[in-house]
Amino acid sequence: MRVVEIDKNICTGCRECAKVCPAYAIEGEQGEPQTINTDKCVMCGQCVQKCKSYVSIVTHGYEAYDKVRKERGIPESVKEPLFAAHNVTHIDEVKKALADPTKVVMASAAPAVRTGLAEEFGYKLGTLSNGKMAAAFRALGFDYIYDVNFAADLTIMEEGSELIERVTTGKGKLPMFTSCCPAWVTFLERNYPELSDHLSSCKSPQQMQGAVQKTYGAELRGLKKKDIFNVSVMPCTCKEFECSREEMNASGERDIDVVITTRELAWLIKDAGIDFKSLKEEEFDKPLGEFTGAGEIFGATGGVMEAALRTGYELITGKEIPDVKIPSVRGGEGFRTADIKVGDLTLKVGVVSGLKHVVQVLEDVKAGKLNHFHFIEVMTCPVGCVSGGGQPKLLMDTDKETAYYNRTHTTYKMDEELPIRKSHDNPSIKKIYKEFLKNPLGEKSHHLLHTHYVKGPAKTVK
């Protein structure tokens, strides 16, 4: 499946993309057009963020520019430079669904999208755009506006329960790795298939969201799942690959129909002539749009770990966690560890940010050097999803540090300002378990919210 490509007619062979590729998938001589080794590529899109070779109206003329724009299926309203490294766009599929009166089109956006989207409209790097994003979805014509933050809370209920089961009963391999990042999962499946049992069996929040929207969500709205068209907006290019995996159809239909990036959502908004700055803030639809601070921090490295610990502490001890802030698992790129006291148990946890740092961790797991660890979070992109390949492109390298810091700061600030900061306290999470799922790790949860991993390249349906 084509997700990330390099246009040989535009590429100048500077090899800046190769320097940031965590899978060493970009090949070619200096000064010559580069190619992507699809057997190695994990589709993270960091090359898309880094690429400096472009075609523009000003430099190359409208005819040359328009040719590339049409080849990529980019809206005519787009006038910005088009770079050699790019992700394959699915905007036309979204526009077609929105125009189809037989389709009920649902939108859901990942935590990190709201920290980047406003940058496309001239706002300061890292500006939060939660309410305006919801308003923009409605202005575009989406029928229901949900939030992947809800599924992040759902993920914690399942993943936290799974971790507790592995730690307390001995069932399942330790350390348990997170499975939220599809680029990381793809890397492990292809390169360390013998360690696939260490992955949590949980689907990513995106895929959980899609499954519940076409089952529980359909029941709530009196809809047929075949009429629902789920559009997911992600900071990540690899999510396009993830939704096409053949096992991602727990609802009986394809759970997520199409994925677009933060950049592509901005293109859609501009193409529709919507004045983003003048939009009045709106709310997401409930119950599948209600979330907690724990769900929001999924967008930053260490966020999944912290959210899991907030809930895990209370599930294990039966007591309220003394402080929901766990700064020891927060931080930048690399591998960091922490000992977390949970009642009589000391959890040994690790956080890997930036895929290049995971190889030594995996080698140590193979060698038995990390058997004393319980839980390890892995994110492919430099500081987590806020730095994803589908986020607004940072044309100046000097802007990168500021953008990453601001987006991360916005994420934690939103967490601090939300009235509920633990996933298991989310009223809508309680509601879905009471009315539909029954129990974490139960039969229905297992079918809809968990999956299996392959030893080698995953198969897709398109």
| Enzyme catalytic residues | 159, 162, 180, 200, 239, 242, 247, 385
Tokens 């992600």 belong to: 234
**Is-contact 431 154, C-beta < 8 A?**
no
Backbone angles phi and psi of 181, in degrees to 5: -95, 110
Taking the C-alpha atoms of residue 462 and residue 459, their distance in angstroms, rounded to an integer, is 9
Tokens of residue 250, six digits: 């727990």
**Is-contact 17 5, C-beta < 8 A?**
no
Backbone angles phi and psi of 367, in degrees to 5: -85, 0
Taking the C-alpha atoms of residue 407 and residue 111, their distance in angstroms, rounded to an integer, is 11
Taking the C-alpha atoms of residue 336 and residue 28, their distance in angstroms, rounded to an integer, is 34
Listed residue (14, 24, 166) closest to 84, CA to CA:
14
Taking the C-alpha atoms of residue 23 and residue 20, their distance in angstroms, rounded to an integer, is 9
Residue 126 gets which letter from DSSP? T
Taking the C-alpha atoms of residue 197 and residue 176, their distance in angstroms, rounded to an integer, is 8
In DSSP notation, 430-443 reads: HHHIIIII-STTSH
Taking the C-alpha atoms of residue 226 and residue 208, their distance in angstroms, rounded to an integer, is 17
